[in-house]
Amino acid sequence: MPIHDHGYARYQGTRTPPGRAWAVIAGAGIRGMLSARPFLFVLLFAWLQFFVRAVMLYLAANVPQADVIAPSPATFREFFDQQGFFVFVVAVYVGAGLLANDRRANALQIYLSKPLTRIEYIAGKLAVVMAFLAFVTWVPALLLLGLQAMFTGSLAFVREHAFLIPAITLFGFLQVLLASITMLALSSLSTSARYVGMLYAGAVIFSEAVFQTLRGVTGGTGLSWVSFGASLAQVGDVIFRVEPRYDTPWGVSLLAVGFVIALSAWVLARRVRGVEIVT
């Protein structure tokens, strides 16, 4: 169209067939977050543990006296445990406003009037949170495994613990999915990102507090399934083939995690609609 023509003209170009809008939503969300400088600092801090552990791997590979810090499957399990704080922070920072802000601005009507389904919309939003959470958990964990091989100049450790790559991937996915979908479900319940953040923190802290109270009362950890953090940790221990930390059967912990994910998916399916129906 010539620059001087300010009239409306029919579009003659190509169109992408329906089904790819989720990638547009995800791309826009990721770019939006990366343009916020404070968030870049959060990401940088989230990688601090990676740098520390990279140095430890280097020392273990090159300094004979540093045998005590030689890596084991537990090293990677601990890495995920310690990244838990940043999973929380990033989930709140990225996810709290994803749906809440759209709901506040009535954006759902705009989105769903385009050729995209509710599932695509949710998938796009979910991809934003999951991408950043994977960036602070799964990506550095795999990189650490790669660095270990690089520093030692041998694939012996990776071969000896061949389950680590699927374990890192599976647990990383479970941790990221649980945090992302829970956060999105809470975000769909409100129009205030701040309130959603507090709600998420409350849910995490409350379920942990209930578990610790029950632990004190019963003297055992068989009721760890009431805390979704504890349930995830228990499943993680099994995935990484380390001694499970609680008495709860891991199947029960897995069920608890599955229940939270299913509940969140149900909430999202109920709340993400083009029209709010009050009956």
Instruction: Report if residue 275 touches another protein, rule: CB under 8 A.
Output: yes
DSSP 117: -
Task: Find the Cα–Cα–Cα–Cα dihedral 182, 185, 191, 192, rounded to 10°.
Answer: 0
Instruction: Report if residue 8 touches another protein, rule: CB under 8 A.
Output: yes
Cβ atoms within 10 Å of 154's Cβ, excluding its own = 12
Alpha helices in the chain (DSSP H): 21-34, 37-46, 48-62, 73-90, 96-104, 107-112, 118-136, 138-152, 156-160, 164-187, 193-218, 228-239, 250-271
- Closest approach of Cβ 25 to another protein, in Å? 7
* Nearest to 181, CA basis, from 85, 263, 88: 263
Residue pair 15/21 in contact by the 8 Å Cβ criterion: no
CB nearer to another protein: give 111 or 211: 111
CB nearer to another protein: give 111 or 225: 111
Instruction: Report if residue 211 touches another protein, rule: CB under 8 A.
Output: no
- Closest approach of Cβ 201 to another protein, in Å? 23
* Nearest to 174, CA basis, from 255, 269, 62: 255
CB nearer to another protein: give 100 or 145: 100
CB nearer to another protein: give 217 or 277: 277
- Of 2-10, 133-141, 205-213, 228-236, the window that binds another protein (rule: CB under 8 A) is 2-10
Instruction: Report if residue 28 touches another protein, rule: CB under 8 A.
Output: yes
Residue pair 60/71 in contact by the 8 Å Cβ criterion: yes
Which amino acid, 175?
A: Q
Residues 47-106 that bind another protein (CB under 8 A): 101-102, 104-106
Instruction: Report if residue 6 touches another protein, rule: CB under 8 A.
Output: yes
Instruction: Report if residue 269 touches another protein, rule: CB under 8 A.
Output: no
* Nearest to 137, CA basis, from 182, 91, 92: 91
Instruction: Report if residue 278 touches another protein, rule: CB under 8 A.
Output: yes
Instruction: Report if residue 4 touches another protein, rule: CB under 8 A.
Output: no
Residues that contact another protein, how many (by CB under 8 A): 41
Instruction: Report if residue 116 touches another protein, rule: CB under 8 A.
Output: yes
Q: Is 213 helix (H, G, I), strand (E, B) or coil?
A: helix
* Nearest to 126, CA basis, from 274, 265, 259, 233: 265
Instruction: Report if residue 270 touches another protein, rule: CB under 8 A.
Output: no
- Closest approach of Cβ 42 to another protein, in Å? 18
Q: Which of 16, 72, 213, 218 binds another protein (CB under 8 A)?
A: 16
Residues 117-156 that bind another protein (CB under 8 A): 117
Instruction: Report if residue 107 touches another protein, rule: CB under 8 A.
Output: yes
Instruction: Report if residue 166 touches another protein, rule: CB under 8 A.
Output: no
Tokens of 143: 């990189």
Task: Find the Cα–Cα–Cα–Cα dihedral 160, 166, 169, 171, rounded to 10°.
Answer: -90
- Tell me which residues touch another protein (CB under 8 A): 1, 5-11, 13-18, 20-21, 24-25, 28, 32, 101-102, 104-107, 109-117, 273-275, 277-279
